[in-house]
Structure 1
Amino acid sequence: MTDPCQQTEALHEGPAPLDAVLCTGELERRPARPPDYETENRALAALVQALADSPRTILRALADTIREFLQVGSAGISLLASDEKRFVWPAIAGAWQGYAGGGTPRDFSPCGDVLDRNAPLLFKHFERRYAYLRDETHLAEECLLLPFYVKGKAVGTIWAVAHDARRQFDAEDLRQLASLGRFAAAAYQATALLDTALEQGRVAQGLMEEAVQARLAMEKLRESEEHYRMCFESIEEGFCIIEKLEGETLDFRYVEANAAFAAQTSLSDVVGKTLRQVLPDEFEERLAIYDTVTRTGEPIKIQRRFGSQGRVLELYAFRVEDDMHRRVAINFQDITERKRAEEKLARQAAELATLYATAPVGLFMFDTDLRYLRINRTMADLNGMPAELHIGRTLRELLTTGLADTVEPLLRQVLETGRPLLNQELHGATVPRFDEPRHWLMSCHPVQAGDGTITGVHGAVQEITERKQAEDALRESQRFLHSILNALSGHIAVLDESGTILEINEAWSRFALENQTAGVNASVGVGVNYLQHCEHEPFQCGETPAYARAIKDVLAGRRTRFEMEYSCHSPTAQRWFVMRVTRFQSPGPVRVVIVHDDCTERKLAENASREAEERYRNLFNSIDEGFCVIEMLFDDQQKPVDFRYLEVNPAFEMQTGMRNVTGKRVREMIPDLEAYWFEIYGKVALTGESLRFINEVKALDRWFDIHATRLGGPENRQVAIIFDNVTQRMKADEALRQSEARFRLLFDRGPVAIYSCDTSGMIKEFNPCAVKLWGREPTPEDIDERFCGSSRVYCLDGTLLTPEQNPVIAVLKGEMLQAHDVEALIERPDGSRIHVIANIVPLRNSWGEITGAINCFYDITERSRLEQKTQEQAQALAELHQRKDEFLAMLSHELRNPLAPLASAVQLLRRQKNEAPLQQQALGIIERQTGQLKHLVDDLMEISRITSGSVRLRQERVSLGDVVERALETTRPLMLQRRHELAVSLPQQPVWLHADATRLEQVLVNLLTNAAKYTDKGGRIWLSAGQEEATGTGAAVVRVRDTGIGIAPELLPRIFDLFTQAERSIDRSQGGLGIGLCLVQRLVELHGGTVAVRSVLGQGSEFVVRLPVMPVDMPQPSVPQPSVKPAQPPGNGCRVLAVDDNVDAVQSLAMLLKMSGHVVEIAYDGPSALTMALAMRPDVMLLDIGLPGLTGYEVAEQVRQEPALKNIVLVALTGYGRAADRQFSKDAGFDYHLVKPADFREVEKILAVVAGQAALPGR
């Protein structure tokens, strides 16, 4: 790796783009290694210690840590130079460490790209982009770089390089490198601060006094402010400066405080505030301390606890040596850990005292002169005198000479060498028992001061006299024990401290010889170093290096025992062994016993047990039945009162609906659980009797089928329960029982005859109603009592059914799924026939096979008779209704025919303009009475159409105001005639309805006419129309109120019934048929509205009509505007042929037409009409329907068939006004249909239209 400035040729080869050498996304895709926080914490702790010990080499230590911690080939730190144009490499570890101290330009370097991206980057073969890396012997397979920051500014990068393709970085590497990156920032600050401090020459009196002096220097020398501020803000200890305020009240004001001050004390934003404001509770105490410091100049230390976590801070307050001596600097040092260490030391001292007081072995401590400093009671008892007499006296003063000669050199050795003496065996006699040889085992350790100086020795003594005696006995039985050793099946060897085999048993030798083909050296016997064999000649179990390390730990005393289970392949099969390594606990040479026990049979049994356990667990978790193990709880009288759930399977929650019950008592979950549950399970737990039962938990509203059995003995008090939720089954059974009861009740008392039969049709069961229907009681199991042969069955038309046609047989054979509502005639045994409805359903077994049938027969003989009678009556009523309609139509026709000439005559006289009052009065009488008669006929026909449902509304968008105006125009002559005062109120804004305007006008005309008729002359009538709510969503309302005679209370409930009228009297007879209000109600309801009446007899009436307004979103069909032709002047009249067998009617009509300027001819029958039409070629034919010779329909049909007459406009002028009559006219070819007496204005409108068309070219 060289300076890129020297690689110009390589740069010309064309570097790869940055994204081509990046693979940062792989960090998230690759499986991450598990974090090792323990190793990470140790590494960080080591770095912190290195920073404290040698800050100058901290970056090198950091590079080494990155390399070792991440296990990479190279690692390092790159720092951005002060000119920010170049990186320097202050520390590199690993394969690239030779480049430490070098550097590279910032541009076109990996570090520069990382700072530009401001994010961690993972490079793959980045020499393809950075040509100066291509000559490197150790090329980088991958490189992970992270920027690190100081106060938000990037100052460098840390990086790790993998030279081996097998080492791939993952997300855990990124996390660990980021953790070290934060330390790199702290190390960078520390080294920078150290450099600054060295340049300023202020390292005396510690870092805090340096900060104070830097502050004073700032006031004198502004150019050092940056260095001071960096030091002040970056130190980890809290620090602040306060200034004394002298006035009426003594106080201090905070002048400065660093970030650590706020973090440690939880006091923020204190600068500028007074001591009283910041610490009101401690003000007096702190004031006295800080005032003393300013006056005396002597520093003071105090300790205080801060924060909710109980952190302990040591406050060191000292006076700032300025001119005024008014400032105090306070350093806050977190001594929490030190306090904890002191407390720990105190606890250890207490523990040591406890140990000395309670230890079962003798404990002692000597100084360097071997004077007793400490001794416990056990040791004093061994020496035969009280413990207090030992303190301050030497060893030789208290021990016998022989024993002192043995012990003193050993203790001197420990004091001189500093090495412990372990398990040293002693023998001799003590002063009290000088004639009794005794044996002890002693271990000693040097006592060292903090600087390593040996200040004494402490140890432990255990009397082993009895053990020695036992050892003597043991030696006597060595031969016997050796034979036993050889008889043992385990492979046993004894090792010395070097791992050399001292002794083996015969089982060891046999195994080595038998398995040498499996890779075991048969020479592994006495004299062979077993550790070396394990390390260099691993056999097929592959774990011997680990065994060797464990044996070394036991030999070295780091472990007293090691046990490990392993598998090993012998020539015949895989076998399992347990290796136990045990250290001899004796003062003699280190010995270790190794035992290899063949545990193959146990292992196989365990594997089988584990497989069984797995099968059990799989079954436990997969079965649909609930399962649990409970522990019964008894009171003092051994009465079961509760139980605890020890284990439940997943189905338990599904079956019971109870969640998270393991470890809980059932009374916690179900406080009101029935007592019998405790009695049942308690009995199982105590007696061991297994129980199977079904019972209900009422609190859960569930039934369970339970099998309970005891686990273990009665003292175990555990019960295993397997259960199934049978709630639905129990409810179904209960429902079935209830259904059976209902069925039996219905079967026995119901009105339907019910039989059951087998597959042959033989009757098996029947109810009382069946006996009644049958006429006698059938005999069950009688071969003759069959549905197929015991009765004769007929169709409704009387046809006899064969047995094969019988629906019972068809159902039994499966030819019909079931017979539903089959009607038939059955001949009973007495010969009578009854009409029945039969329903036949097959009975099936669990395999779906038909085993019989249920047959339900209902005798409808009387019902059939009544239905027949009802049908006959309905037919008669329909015929009567038809005749009524025909009568009304004929009556209407006959009444209209004489009205037509009367109306025409009135029109003729009106056109004569005769001014004679008498004639005018007579004309008015005739005209009114003719109109009244016409109105009565129209109402009669209207109500007939409405009651028969033949009225069809022509609904469109209609303005309520327009309908009211037309109704007023129609009734105004009647109002004027009776001199009524009419008050009208119409809405300001249009109210739109979806309605038939003609029918609504008819409603209002009827109401206004009634108001006029039943109000005395000169009365008042009010009409108001509008909408109920201002929001525009309410109903449209029309009110007609008068001051008339009112309506009697008994008449009000049926005022809208057909033909309802007030009682007529000689002086108050208004005429009419009593159908007007019925017509009003029917038409309003057809529009979806309502009509109501309020009235007081003698005080008038008010009718209120409510109609739904037109919805805003209802589509508004475009209504084509009729092309209205202006009335033609007389000179442009039509040729008209008027045909009617009523001479008066046709002649009066002809006269009116002629007066209007038309050319008119008359015909009195059908044939004459056709002849005259061919001769005259009229523009319009006014045809009556009921003509002699040919009817009007026939005349119209022949006219339409004649080409010469195809343009004639045909107008039906008839007394028939039903909807059917109008349809007949249309079908016959008529263009218009007018009902007699026709309003002559309607006739003139038609003629005007025809005249206008005749004037068009081509007519």
Structure 2
Amino acid sequence: MSTIKDDTANTMLQKNNDTAVELMKLAFDAPNNRSIFFTPVFNDGEIIDFRFTLLSRGTIDFFKGIDYTGQTLLEVLPDQINQIESLKTAYETGIQQNWTRYYEKLDGAQRWFRVCDSKAGEGVYRVWEDVTEQKIAERNFNTVIAEQIEDKYVSLFNSVDQGFCIIEVIFDENKKPIDYIFVKTNPAFENQTGLVNAIGKTMKELEPNHESHWFEIYGEIALTGKPRYFEHEAKHLINGWYEVSAFPLSDIKDNKVAIIFNDITDRKNVERELSEFNTRLEEEVKERTASLKEVNAQLADKNTQLEQTNKELESFNYIASHDLQEPLRKIQTFITFIKDRDMTREESEPYIKKIHDSAGRMTQLIKDVLVYSRLSAEKEFVNVNLNDILDIVLADYELLIKEKNAVINRNVLPTIKAIPLQMEQLFSNLISNSLKYCSENPEISVTAQTEGNLAHLTFKDNGIGFDAQYSEQIFKLFQRLHGKGDYAGTGIGLSICKKITEQHNGSISAESQPGNGATFNITLPLK
């Protein structure tokens, strides 16, 4: 009894399943049902295509009776790689993909399809429907709305002084904006542009030389739907500037752009004049600042010179109170001594010699002071061959050089821009010092080398030398490292050398050790 009941139940279940399958087949093959079941095609584990596995009757009818079962999507539609991406995403993520496909037939008819891809088992089930009529209705509705919006904008801007127009951007086959046509304008448009009867005409018809940046900006707005505010020059249209606010009228990609604009040429001219004035003012400030810096530098230089002059005056005062008075005092003392003692000529001879020596020292001191004081007055720079200068100085000391059996070593010296007499004084003082401070067999070398615009001269001897701590002090006025009884001199010679090198924008320094001679390094500009 129980077995009969089970068999009856199984029989009824099988009939119900068969009925469900039959109903599903009828629904799948219904004339208005467009469905496809795709299975993925793999290559090395990666999906590269999808195969038509099952097509509904409505799908086959859509393909004009061709059953593509067994073929792949790219074999049938090789240009639809984006469809592969939709199917692949649905298969791999399980997320339903919804999108709209648009295409245009050869006869120009436009078609829209709404597509839904969903994962089903080991494949993807696609259902799509033709929504062309709906899309056309939406477009027509939007067109009506857009026209109403255009009319409202025109009506709104009819009473303002700002220019207003609606344009339709014209693109070439590469989507490059090449022109635009005027669709609507307000009364102020003509006053702002000078264009008459512009509606229905392109900008290039009205102004062939209109700058390309206007087409590029409006083309970008038409393509992206993003509004722009900007200021730009319209040189060929008004030889001036516009302030512009441009925006798409609606979401419809109809290439129409609304433009509100105003001639701001006067403002730009004022801004330019103000900018030029500010630039001139900045330049004048810079010039005056530079002039002030130059004056300050000159003043600082004058102050330095004044300080140096004051120091020299102090030294000259010292001469007047000490160095010059000392030999004069000796002369007076010896004359009084001879007079009071009523000496004979023979008795007074030693004192007369001392009077003569003191007078000679005073004369030499006065000469050296005069040479030093006149250095700043000489300003005429000419080309000076230093080889000739050295020849002149050596000729002056020829007897002393022979007397001391001195050896002079030299190389080729350069030609520089200098004051000839001062160069003679410089070389003479240095050669004189080397001969003076060498007790026997003096050896003096005078060499030079050039570097860029500089000449480096070296005067070196094998004399008694001096302690390195006095290497700067020896160039100061009336500074002596030895007593008057040891070596003759006034203490001005090296001060003259230092002043001459400074007068020539150069420098002088000394190196020495006691008993190892002295080296004087001089740097002078070639020009």
Please give the range of the TM-score, normalised by the shorter of the 2 chains: 0.3 to 0.5
TM-score scaled to structure 1, two decimals? 0.18
By percentage of residues, which structure has more helix? 2
TM-score scaled to structure 2, two decimals? 0.37
Of the two structures, which has the highest relative contact order with CA contacts closer than 8 Å and spacing of 6 or more? 2
